[in-house]
């Protein structure tokens, strides 16, 4: 790729700016964006709040954290050399291995020299006169740049529950997303877990292996399905390495970039026997197949959804011995797959252990956290440790922790008052030269696949700007409107959007997130890429380039 000649046409010359591009975050997005912009010849700096690379996989060190995507479909695909060098040891990699992988990538491509750790960005202001961004770090230092790239992740600002007395507990207390770097022992301890989302489920099944006594505080049960993880031996890994082209081609063809693809049949187009056999097959297969590779109508047709929900409910009843507990674990207010499906390994069997108790806090609400433990409406439980698996201020939360101001001093918070509005999830009108990787309304799914696409699209746009001596890129309001309308249309009829979850913009612990918003793009990644490809091929007419 040719080096970009940055133009001096703008009021502020390249030489007068500290950087051509500042990237916030050194996770999967930030690392690859750094590499791509460096290839263009740009002077780039990454500011990262952690002490190391890895983003999600740096922070989420909680027990049992691992991929729910097949490891070999999740790693970067851009470097054939990297693909051939790296050996995954499990089909669904545990967090320590993933973190080692991302460190390996950072070293291999010599990325660290442009990353400044322990550097939280607190403000980013666009300067119209000079067409550049001024970034302020927590330590007060300021840095100027032509382009600002946010690589801050959609699930990176953990939220604690709004329960009285959280700070009064005298024992150990951890949020899963800020888990300590040192080993934590559960042996002989009385441990509480609050939260039963994808994170809570992974945590619970791991903690249960060694805990003295475990109490799970569940507000809403989720529909979980077996992960079926297994080790990868050398011969299998060699086979995977030979198939990488095929694997990534497959991810490009599927709705959400997983290796699983929607079955073209409708739930009622087969006999009841065929249907049951297919559900059994999916339940016995590894990964997200039961969610992403099921009949085409399970997330749009209520009757179809009821059938798969009934099937999974039967499985729960079979696996949990105490039927009163099983009933509590079966979701009643939403159907299978309409929230993110936690993948589990003997999760339901945990509830058969004599040292495990499930507390349904819809029946007996938590009143407060006390110095000794947790007080519900009917009793006070004493604990040595409380684990908060209470999720994130998702999608917009990490943006709102930074004072981002675009043209005329307008804040991003104001611009997104009624919910996020973006152009293809990458730009916001009135915030020129700011590009978001994994911003709201981009394609999600098997995230690294979407990240690579976003990163390359942004790099191409910046290269185009260099070639055409352009220094300002601002999404046109009408382009934002058109994309937002497309996001709305893509989500129409989806049962997922009728349910409270982070995917519909809900977080009971965050002010202003009690009402569902158009929080994410739920169309296919294929359609997303087609839209973005057309924008690039047409010379970025949807963006005001000057």
Judged by the rule CB under 6 A, the positions of this chain that interact with ligand NA7 are 155, 161-163, 194-200, 219-220, 340, 361, 389-392, 502, 508-509
Q: Which is nearer to ligand NA7, 198 or 428 (CB)?
A: 198
Pair of tokens at residue 112: 């660290």
Q: Which is nearer to ligand NA7, 68 or 542 (CB)?
A: 68
CB of 207 to ligand NA7, least distance (A): 14
Cα separation, 523 vs 252, in Å, equals 14
Q: Which is nearer to ligand NA7, 360 or 474 (CB)?
A: 360
The DSSP code sequence of 417-454 is TTS---BTTTB-TT-TTEEETT-TTS--SSHHHHHHHH
Q: Which is nearer to ligand NA7, 162 or 417 (CB)?
A: 162
Q: Which is nearer to ligand NA7, 135 or 194 (CB)?
A: 194
CB 50 within 8 A of CB 117: yes
Q: Which is nearer to ligand NA7, 267 or 292 (CB)?
A: 292
Question: In 244-368, which residue ranges form alpha helices assigned H by DSSP?
Answer: 244-253, 272-283, 289-292, 302-319, 323-329, 347-350
CB of 417 to ligand NA7, least distance (A): 22
Provide the total of helices (H) and of strands (E) in the chain, helices listed first. 18, 20
Q: Which is nearer to ligand NA7, 47 or 392 (CB)?
A: 392
CB of 436 to ligand NA7, least distance (A): 18
Q: From residue 251, how far is each of 27, 73, 292, 426, 490 by CA, in Å?
A: 21, 8, 12, 21, 20
Question: E strand or H helix at 215, and its extent?
Answer: strand 213-218
CB of 96 to ligand NA7, least distance (A): 17
Pair of tokens at residue 132: 């550049």
Pair of tokens at residue 278: 């297919």
In sequence order, which residues have a C-beta less than 8 Å from that of residue 390 and are 6 or more positions away? Answer: 158, 159, 160, 161, 175, 194, 195, 509
Of all residues in the shown chain, the one whose CB is closest to ligand NA7 is 197
Q: Which is nearer to ligand NA7, 509 or 524 (CB)?
A: 509
CB of 220 to ligand NA7, least distance (A): 3
Burial 45-70 (b: 16+ CB within 10 A, else e): bbbbbbebbbbbbbbbbbbbbbbbbb
Cα separation, 442 vs 448, in Å, equals 12
CB of 217 to ligand NA7, least distance (A): 6
Pair of tokens at residue 495: 């049962």
Strands 380-382 and 385-388: unpaired
CB of 73 to ligand NA7, least distance (A): 16
CB of 366 to ligand NA7, least distance (A): 6
């Amino acid at each position: 790729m040719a080096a970009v000649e940055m133009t001096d046409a703008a009021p502020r010359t390249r030489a007068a700016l500290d950087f051509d591009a500042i990237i916030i975050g050194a996770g999967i997005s930030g690392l690859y964006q750094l590499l791509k912009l460096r290839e263009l010849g740009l002077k780039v700096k990454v500011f990262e709040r952690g002490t190391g690379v890895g983003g999600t996989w740096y922070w989420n060190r909680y027990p049992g954290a691992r991929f729910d995507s097949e490891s070999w479909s999740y790693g970067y695909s851009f470097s054939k050399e990297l693909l051939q060098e790296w050996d995954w040891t499990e089909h669904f990699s545990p967090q320590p291995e993933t973190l080692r992988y991302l460190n390996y990538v950072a070293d291999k491509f010599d990325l660290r020299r442009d990353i400044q750790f322990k550097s939280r960005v607190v403000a980013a202001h666009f300067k119209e006169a000079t067409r550049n961004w001024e970034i302020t770090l927590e330590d007060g230092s300021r840095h100027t740049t032509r382009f600002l790239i946010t690589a801050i992740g959609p699930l990176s600002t953990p939220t604690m529950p709004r329960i009285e007395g959280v700070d009064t507990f005298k024992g150990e207390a951890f949020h899963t997303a800020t888990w300590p770097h040192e080993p934590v022992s559960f042996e002989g301890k009385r441990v509480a877990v609050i939260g039963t989302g994808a994170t809570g489920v992974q945590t619970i099944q791991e903690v249960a292996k060694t805990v003295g006594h475990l109490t799970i505080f569940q507000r809403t049960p989720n529909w979980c399905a077996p992960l079926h993880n297994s080790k990868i031996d050398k011969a299998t890994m060699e086979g995977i390495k030979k198939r990488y082209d095929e694997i990534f081609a497959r991810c490009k063809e599927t709705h959400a970039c997983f290796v699983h693809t929607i079955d073209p049949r409708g739930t009622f187009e087969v006999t009841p026997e065929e249907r049951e056999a297919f559900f059994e097959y999916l339940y016995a297969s590894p990964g997200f197949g039961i969610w992403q590779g099921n009949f085409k109508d399970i997330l749009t047709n209520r009757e179809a959804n009821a059938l798969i929900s009934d099937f999974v409910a039967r499985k729960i009843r079979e696996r949990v011995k105490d039927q009163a507990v099983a009933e509590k674990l079966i979701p009643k207010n939403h159907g299978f797959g309409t929230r993110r499906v936690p993948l589990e390994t003997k999760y339901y069997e945990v509830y058969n252990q004599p040292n495990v108790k499930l507390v349904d806090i819809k029946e007996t609400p938590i009143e407060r956290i006390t110095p000794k433990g947790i007080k519900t409406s009917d009793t006070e439980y004493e604990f040595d440790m409380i684990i908060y698996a209470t999720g994130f201020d998702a999608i917009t939360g990490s943006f709102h922790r930074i004072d981002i101001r675009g043209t005329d001093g307008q804040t991003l918070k104001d611009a997104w008052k009624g919910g996020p509005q973006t152009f293809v999830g990458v730009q916001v009108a009135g915030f020129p030269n700011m590009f978001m990787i994994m911003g709201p309304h981009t394609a999600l799914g098997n995230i690294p696949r979407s990240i690579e696409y976003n990163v390359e699209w942004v790099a191409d746009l910046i290269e185009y700007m260099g070639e055409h001596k352009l220094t300002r890129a601002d999404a046109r309001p009408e382009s934002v409107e058109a994309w937002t309308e497309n996001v709305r249309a893509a989500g129409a009829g989806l049962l997922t959007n009728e349910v409270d979850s982070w995917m519909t913009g809900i977080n009971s612990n965050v002010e202003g997130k009690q009402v569902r918003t158009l929080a994410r793009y739920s169309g296919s990644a294929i359609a997303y890429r087609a839209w973005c490809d057309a924008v690039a091929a047409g010379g970025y007419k949807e963006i005001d380039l000057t």
